[in-house]
Amino acid sequence: MIGLKVVTRLLAIMGKELVEVARRPGALFSLVLGPFLIMALFGLGYNNSGISFRTLLVVPPGSGLSTQLEDYRTLVMPGVDLVGVQADVGSARQALRDQAVDVVIVAPSDLQANFEAGRQSTILVEYNIVSPVKANYALVLAQQLAYGVNQQIIERAAAKGVSEVGTLGRTSPIPPAVIAAPTRADPHNLAPVDPSLTSFFGPAVLALILQHMAVTLTALSLVRERHTGVFDVLRVSPVSAVEIILGKLVAFAILGAGMSVVILGLLVYAFHAPFLGDAGLVGITIGLVLAASLGIGLLISVISDSERQAVQLALLVLLGSVFFSGFILDVQQFIPAVQAIGDLLPVTHGIRLLQDLMLRGATTESWRLSALLVIALVTLATTWVFLRRGLSARA
């Protein structure tokens, strides 16, 4: 008899929990299907072609080399997106400084003549990259480029006969070292700093922490107030939906600003991260990241029916931010549709802006400031609509 009562009570509790979950399909979706959807987008949207550098080839006048882009298509190695061929080194370097291209390759002025004269030619490879991972990859590409050119020269020499080549304008054979390596790569990074991994990912960590903190804290605020009865007090008070939103926005913004000062201080003074940009512009960027993140958190709070669902949605935002914001993988390694999803997250714009401002001193993507402002305005306006509707329904 006692065992039957225990089983009955257990079945009652089990039934209550199952019914509660069934009544909240949104919570089930965010808990189970949400992570799988993010993983599916990550797998389908990832472009397995690797890092691609926009490359400009400079062919000096009188080099005897072709200036037609199509003549070099078959010589381009994986990871190099050849966007043009020109003769002016100055304009190519200016495009590199403006970040219109990632790599500039300057061909030797007289490659074949140097080889026949027994001299090694230099292929100048310049890039403007602050990411340590990309910079190392660019060095590997520069070496591969030299190897590819060397192979072609050696094949030509073998076809003509090295001894025959050595007699053209020379009284002595070509040195073995020049035969083995007719060219060498001379890479130069034009970026203002060469940061360590900690310095490079520090601004990204700052943006991610600020977004997650703002989203999580605000996502729980209205939900908790509805369950504790505070929301009913606000409903009968003369406080409007706009005042509720602004009050929460200012309160959490002050907390976020204090947190950002602490993290920035640790990055600059403890981890010696570069800080080359204007402090005011960095502050504006952090403020917009906080505003957009608080807007997302308030929107989650107003549409969630329980603290559990609010936490689940906040964690989904964090999971999507880690995958699609450029925190781990560069956003260019995803298809455009998935890149658009990443652009809906404040951390995507915060990472790029803070890395540019702190490590380069300026940014060429100031449109991201407007994107953050749009995210903040849209999410806060949507929150106001839902909150106002909820206050009216309870009146």
pLDDT, one tens digit per residue, over 231-286 is 666 666 677 778 888 888 888 888 889 989 999 999 899 888 899 999 999 999 99
Domain holding 363, by residue range, is: 196-394
Alpha-helical (H) ranges within 98-196 are 111-116, 132-160, 162-166, 176-180
Length of the chain: 395
| 164 and 209 inside one domain | no
Q: How far apart are CA 47 and CA 44, in angstroms?
A: 8
- The low-confidence residues of the chain, meaning pLDDT below 70, are 1-3, 5-7, 9-36, 38-40, 42-43, 46, 48-50, 62-65, 74-76, 111-112, 115-116, 118, 145-181, 229-237, 393-395
| 315 and 343 inside one domain | yes
Sign of the CA dihedral with 51 first, then 56, 60, and 65 last? positive
Residue 11 is assigned to a structural domain of this protein: no
Whether the Cβ atoms of residue 321 and residue 212 lie closer than 8 Å to each other: yes
Residue 98 is assigned to a structural domain of this protein: yes
List, as own/partner pairs, every contact residues 168-171 make where C-beta atoms lie below 8 angstroms and the sequence separation is at least 24, other chains included. Answer: 168/116, 169/116, 169/117, 170/116, 170/117, 170/118
Residues 340-371: b if buried by 16+ CB within 10 A, e if exposed: ebbbbbbbbbbbbbbbbbbbbeebeeeebbeb
Sign of the CA dihedral with 364 first, then 358, 293, and 31 last? positive
Q: Mind listing the pLDDT tens digit for each residue in 33-71? A: 666 676 667 667 767 666 778 888 888 876 666 777 777
Q: What DSSP character marks residue 72?
A: G
Q: What's the number of domains the chain is made of?
A: 2
Whether the Cβ atoms of residue 102 and residue 73 lie closer than 8 Å to each other: no
| 174 and 147 inside one domain | yes
The enclosing H or E element of 123 equals strand 121-127
Residue 42 is assigned to a structural domain of this protein: no
| 318 and 375 inside one domain | yes
Residues 6+ positions from 354 with CB-CB distance below 8 Å: 203, 204, 206, 207, 282, 285, 286
In the chain, what is the straight-line distance between the N-terminal and C-terminal CA atoms, in Å? Answer: 50
What SS3 class is residue 185?
strand
Rg for the chain (alpha carbons), in Å?
Answer: 30
**pLDDT for res 1:** 63
Find the CATH number of the domain harbouring 146.
Answer: 3.40.1710.10
**pLDDT for res 41:** 72
Residue type at 395 in one-letter notation = A
Last residue of one domain, picked from the residues 189, 204, 226: 189
Whether the Cβ atoms of residue 223 and residue 304 lie closer than 8 Å to each other: yes
Residue 365 is assigned to a structural domain of this protein: yes
Q: Are strands 53-58 and 80-86 parallel, antiparallel or unpaired?
A: parallel
Whether the Cβ atoms of residue 141 and residue 80 lie closer than 8 Å to each other: yes
- Report residue 271 as tokens: 């981890």
- Residue 62: left if φ>0, alpha if ψ -120 to 50, beta else—which one? left
Residues 6+ positions from 364 with CB-CB distance below 8 Å: 98, 99, 356
**pLDDT for res 168:** 47
Helix axes 367-394, 279-303, angle to 10 degrees: 30
| 115 and 156 inside one domain | yes
| 252 and 173 inside one domain | no
Residue 324 is assigned to a structural domain of this protein: yes
| 177 and 288 inside one domain | no
Residue 179 is assigned to a structural domain of this protein: yes
Q: Which candidate, 278, 271, 272, places its Cα nearest to that of 353?
A: 278
| 276 and 368 inside one domain | yes
Cross-strand partners of 121? 183
Last residue of one domain, picked from the residues 164, 189, 214: 189
| 250 and 354 inside one domain | yes
Q: How far apart are CA 380 and CA 350, in angstroms?
A: 19
Residue 356 is assigned to a structural domain of this protein: yes
| 176 and 204 inside one domain | no
Residue 108 is assigned to a structural domain of this protein: yes
Last residue of one domain, picked from the residues 189, 222, 251: 189
Alpha carbon 281 to its chain centroid, in Å, reads 19
| 184 and 58 inside one domain | yes
| 87 and 119 inside one domain | yes
